[in-house]
Structure 1
């Protein structure tokens, strides 16, 4: 690791910044991991686009359809490809705590910068906040690497800003991807912005958050500049027109950060709110292919 546990917050404050884009995972026709394709993608993301960092094996990366060895191998390829060019945060989210810890320790050992762990899925719960606090307290206790929290309604509940701020007191909790409405993540920024970096995936609000909240980190969804069509297998669900390389968003963000105090930095609302069309897929293309093969 590049820092000690007690240095995690300071290290993240200095280095966990810019656009960290979610990576797609390419698979071959036989649905095995396409290592050569992933290496080519890494060169594009890290060296051509010069992104601040990469969010590896998140939901866009279809971690839920991958085996633990496949996830570990993808982490290794990402760290190898990013070395000297950009940072890596590995998604160690899983419904099994032992798997989370196994992936997290592997990330520590291979030199990933940080890990991100989704809040646990609780289909039935009496006191979710107490459970979630103990979950992250245990992870913090067991690990040295900087941990980013991740909360989204699909886990069955929303973490309150107050709970997030309490967890932010833990020594190696460094950031949070908070997929909630603006009022909630603004409140969290007010409560704990001096201890953790707060981010959300909303593309409509990202410039407002740079200017109004002083954010320096964007944990982004996958976007058009992050892929090339010849490097993505048929098993992914992204339409071809989204795969064309475009001007890196991080360069535009850097301009906005440098002009934070200037209202003229804001583009017209319509320019910020052009949505990326849905592909109509809400599940893993790889999982669908595997299911179909069994039928």
Structure 2
């Protein structure tokens, strides 16, 4: 299979006590689909998968699958420090109707060899043998810096349902090499929002990102301009994305993103510790700073290039 377009790394809504607020998922899904999102990536870094209990992760996966109702692919991230637990999460994702599974590697005990990474991913992916599996490469959080081409070559022989990567790093040369490996055998999806244009120029067909939740129109404009050969307009759009992300990055990133979703009217709460949530004064400052670069906080927060 091949993923295409903008895939939102979804947020997990919490109530004021920090418990799941599953009732917010339906409206969030409808807004994402209305804004042109072509897939959902559930319980990843953005969705605080590693801060949720396994039972909570199952409930969130079920809620997103149900709300999406087959309209776009739902990718469930099942990575866990316990590979056995990850395998059970993969089995659950398949049972409830997810379209794809993905997983980070264990990160407490570091995975230091290609063979160990393949063994870990083979075990967990076997829990959902009927679903395509994408390894989630995010070395900044897992500490695993194994060459992805080496993993794909060995993993492709030993993991029957391995189809590609979610590549969340900045090494465009490695990204391109992985895409071209074995005649383009693997589907490699870009995961760094502020470098989407560079990835498109390298051959990316899809991106998975956090800020697609709040600025999908901007990223669709970047993609359309690139496809039309209007590289000046595409660069202008990417520059605006960078400015937006730099603004959000002056605050704790995911709590700030959740604050923006609250400004949209979605009851997502804050983040689980250790991330926490923004103070009211921080939220006010963030809103002012984003308004200054053109973000609209009407029915749905959005940022786009002027016509």
TM-score (ref. length: structure 2): 0.73
The answer to whether the Cα contact below 8 Å between 2:40 and 2:73 also exists between their aligned partners in 1 is: yes
Label 1:247 to 1:143 Cα distance change in 2 as closer, same or farther (>3 A). closer
Give the length in aligned residue pairs: 253
Alpha-carbon offset, residue 275 of structure 1: 4.6
Label 1:100 to 1:20 Cα distance change in 2 as closer, same or farther (>3 A). same
**Which structure 2 segments of 5+ residues have no match?**
256-269, 277-307
Alpha-carbon offset, residue 262 of structure 1: 6.5
Q: How does 1:81-160 map to 2 (within 5 A)?
A: 81-121=67-107, 123=109, 127-144=112-129, 145-153=131-139, 154-160=141-147
Matched, 1:64 2:33: no
The answer to whether the Cα contact below 8 Å between 1:72 and 1:103 also exists between their aligned partners in 2 is: yes
Label 1:50 to 1:204 Cα distance change in 2 as closer, same or farther (>3 A). closer
Query: Which residue matches 1:267?
Result: 235
Query: Which residue matches 1:216?
Result: 205
Query: Which residue matches 2:168?
Result: 179
Cα separation, 2, equivalents of 1:159 and 1:102: 25
Let me know the Cα RMSD of the aligned residues. Answer: 2.7
Label 1:122 to 1:73 Cα distance change in 2 as closer, same or farther (>3 A). closer
Alpha-carbon offset, residue 131 of structure 1: 0.5
Q: 1:50 aligns with which of 30, 36, 41?
A: 36
**Which structure 1 segments of 5+ residues have no match?**
1-11, 227-244, 291-295
The answer to whether the Cα contact below 8 Å between 1:50 and 1:85 also exists between their aligned partners in 2 is: no
Q: Look up the SS of the partner of 1:21 in the other structure.
A: strand
Alpha-carbon offset, residue 186 of structure 1: 1.9
Q: Look up the SS of the partner of 2:71 in the other structure.
A: coil
Label 1:130 to 1:20 Cα distance change in 2 as closer, same or farther (>3 A). same
Label 1:162 to 1:107 Cα distance change in 2 as closer, same or farther (>3 A). same
Alpha-carbon offset, residue 58 of structure 1: 0.9
The answer to whether the Cα contact below 8 Å between 2:77 and 2:102 also exists between their aligned partners in 1 is: yes
Cα separation, 1, equivalents of 2:49 and 2:75: 14
Cα separation, 1, equivalents of 2:219 and 2:73: 14
Query: Which residue matches 1:23?
Result: 10
The answer to whether the Cα contact below 8 Å between 2:76 and 2:101 also exists between their aligned partners in 1 is: yes
The answer to whether the Cα contact below 8 Å between 2:190 and 2:199 also exists between their aligned partners in 1 is: no
Alpha-carbon offset, residue 175 of structure 1: 2.2
Query: Which residue matches 1:280?
Result: 252
Cα separation, 1, equivalents of 2:15 and 2:241: 35
Matched, 1:196 2:168: no
Q: Which has the higher contact order (CA 8 A, sep 6+)?
A: 1
Alpha-carbon offset, residue 109 of structure 1: 1.0
